[in-house]
Structures are given as C-alpha cells and as structure tokens.
Structure 1
Amino acid sequence: MVGLKRNLQRVFVLCLFIFVAACSEEVKQEVNTDPVTFNAGDECHVCGMLVIEWPGAKGQSINKQSGETLKFCSTTDLFSWWLQPENKTVKAQIYVHDMAKSEWAHPADEHLIDARDAWYVVGSDLIGAMGPTLVSFADESAAQELATKSGGRVLRFDDIDLLVLQEIGKAGHKYAEDHGKQIRESMGVE
C-alpha cells in the first residue's frame, strides 16, 4: 500500500510539473508580415512627413514579433532608421518599392519587394522626399540601367551604411542650394 501511495504521489507531482511547464510557455502567435499599403495620413517614422505626398520609393518595416508597422517617406529614411544600432537587432520584414514597375511620382504598393533582396542605385538624379535618395529595384539589370544613365552606382542592402547615407546627404545639400538659387532667380532676387 505504501508503494502504491508513493507511486501516486510521483505521478501527481509529475502531472503537476507538466501542467505548470505547459502553462508557463510563451504563446507564440503568427504575425502577418506581408507588405501593407501606404495611406493618406501615414507619417514617416523618421521625419514625420506625410508619406504619400512625396515622389520616389518608400519603405516599411514590419516587426515579426509585435506586428508593428513603421512607414518611411523614402528609402533613405528607411536606412537612416535601420542603421541605428538599436534597430539592427529588431526582427523585422523590410520592404521597398520596385521602381522598375512603378511611376516615380506615385509608386505602386503592389510592387513592394523585400528590401534585403533589392538592388539600390545611389547617385542618380532622381529626387525623393528629402532630396536625392536610394532608388530600389527587384532586378539588377534595371538598377544597372539607371546607374549607367545617371552616373550612379549599384549597391546591395548590406552595402548601404552610414557613409553612403552621408554621401546622399551631401548631394541633398547641393540640391537644396541649387533649388534655392533657381527660386531666387525666378523671383528676381539675388
């Protein structure tokens, strides 16, 4: 009888242990990380500008754990955010527009592609939300075609670092200076 009682206690403790372990496991929910559309009123996570009011490729990041979606008015702002040390550890699905299949003035959201697989042109004459920007493509040959026409160069996702963004920023200052000069001249102001 003592043996039976002891075995029942062991079974009870084992069942209790299994029950507690099962209840304490984190419940993992599937998070949808498919790209989402850009809508009126969406603000850029970096600069706060309204995303769809500006031309050029845009970006978005969807957190694989929480499902939180961050939207960016340009690929340059997307990379400005992504390259910050605290963000590189985020498990995220990142998207950009394939500009070979979209109008520059109004990129089509059905042509959002995985940013890590994209080809980027830096140094083109195309102007995005914040001035010169990275132009994204799904296909290397389309990227190379723009780079050849505009004097830019083709990079991959992992090639883009803060030095590349600094180069784009310098081009942006030159663009702003030239644009300001054009406005002053058109108004007859020197």
Structure 2
Amino acid sequence: MKKLFGSCLSLLLPLLLLTSCGGDKQQVMVQKAVAIESGEECHLCGMIITNFAGPKGELYRKEQQNAVHKFCSTRDMFSYYLDPENRRNVSVMYVHDMSKMPWDAPDDGYFIDAKSAWFVAGSSKTGAMGKTLASFGKQQDALAFAEAYGGKVLGFEQVTLAELM
C-alpha cells in the first residue's frame, strides 16, 4: 500500500504543481527611472524638462504602472505628489542624486528612490521653477550642500507644501 501511495503521489505532485501555476497570471511590473529625452514636457507645468538646471523627478502611479510621469524639478514633482488625491495613488518616485553630478547637467544614470533620499529646501541654487529641492542619496551630502548653499536638510516625510514656497 505504501508503495502504491508513493508512486501515485509521485505522479500527482507534478500535475498539482502545473495546475497551481496555471491560475491567474499576475504580471509584476518593474518601475524604473528612465532617461529624460530632449523635448519632453513636465507633467505638471508643461515646460521642456531638459531646458533647465537642477534635479528632476519621475514617478509612477499605481493605476498606470507602465506610464512614467516626468517633472522639470523636484519642486514640481513634490507639488504634484503632495496633493492628497495624487499622494495615495503614487507607487514609486525617483530623483537625481546631485552629489554625483554638476547642478547644470543632471545625469539620468543617477536617479535614486525619492522616499529614501535627503532634500535641501531653501538653498541659493535654483531649478526650472525657481526654488527647488536639492536631492541626495546620503544625508552627509545634503548637509555639505546646505553648508555651501544654505537651506535646511529634510527627509522625504518632512517635505511639505510650505517647504516648497
């Protein structure tokens, strides 16, 4: 009996595994930062993104998993994100790590997760919309930038609409 049960189980197990894999297929979408191309417009204000210095931002919305929204500045990205209707629908956000490149030429190879980034608000450096948030992957880089150009260092959750003004 044990032998019969064992051989039946060995025949049924692969069949069970195959049928369990054939159910609803959930597609996992990887949402990565993408290059900002010449001529692309800011999702918030419509300005040409590459015409301006300073860090840029990108985000994905939960219901539009394959559509990246690009912004001419971190200020515009946060202005969009901090709207309560948008905030609950954003799945991932990216910003430039400004410790890795010159202010006048952000490099799309250095996007970082905005939710783990450090920001400097109120510095003397400006972006597309005037005042902007300088973004950094490490707190010590943000502190050094604030010492050189003024401003206040903030974590992601500390960024508010008041800080953007």
TM-score band, normalised by the shorter chain?
0.7 to 0.9
Task: Give 1 or 2: higher strand fraction.
Answer: 2
Q: Distance in 2 between matches of 1:102 and 1:149?
A: 16
Instruction: Tell me the residue number matched to 1:144.
Output: 143
Q: Letter of the aligned partner of 1:155 in structure 2?
A: L
Q: Distance in 2 between matches of 1:111 and 1:140?
A: 16
Instruction: Tell me the residue number matched to 2:47.
Output: 49
Would you say the 8 A contact 2:117–2:155 is kept in 1?
A: yes
Instruction: Tell me the residue number matched to 2:59.
Output: 61
Using structure 1 for the length normalisation, give the TM-score: 0.71
Q: Letter of the aligned partner of 1:138 in structure 2?
A: G
Instruction: Tell me the residue number matched to 2:33.
Output: 35
Q: Distance in 2 between matches of 1:68 and 1:117?
A: 22
**Superposed CA RMSD:** 1.7
* Runs of at least 5 residues in structure 1 that lack an aligned partner in the other structure: 1-21, 167-190
* Runs of at least 5 residues in structure 2 that lack an aligned partner in the other structure: 1-21
Residues 66-114 of structure 1 show CA distances to partners (whole Å, capped at 9, x for unaligned) of 2210000000000000000111111421000000001111100110000
Instruction: Tell me the residue number matched to 2:71.
Output: 72
Would you say the 8 A contact 2:135–2:142 is kept in 1?
A: yes
Determine helix, strand or coil for the equivalent of 2:58: strand
Extract structure 1 runs of 4+ deviating beyond 6 A. Answer: none
The alignment of Structure 1 onto Structure 2 pairs a total of residues equal to: 144
Instruction: Tell me the residue number matched to 2:159.
Output: 160
Task: Give 1 or 2: higher helix fraction.
Answer: 1
Instruction: Tell me the residue number matched to 1:126.
Output: 125
Structure 1 residue 63 displacement after superposition:
3.0
**Among the aligned pairs, what percent are the same residue?**
41
Of the two structures, which has the highest relative contact order with CA contacts closer than 8 Å and spacing of 6 or more? 2
Instruction: Tell me the residue number matched to 1:85.
Output: 84
Using structure 2 for the length normalisation, give the TM-score: 0.82
Would you say the 8 A contact 1:31–1:64 is kept in 2?
A: no
CA radius of gyration, larger in: 1
Would you say the 8 A contact 1:33–1:64 is kept in 2?
A: no
Q: Letter of the aligned partner of 1:85 in structure 2?
A: P
Would you say the 8 A contact 2:119–2:136 is kept in 1?
A: yes
Q: Letter of the aligned partner of 2:58 in structure 1?
A: Q
Instruction: Tell me the residue number matched to 1:182.
Output: none
Matches within 5 A, 1:17-28: 27-28=25-26
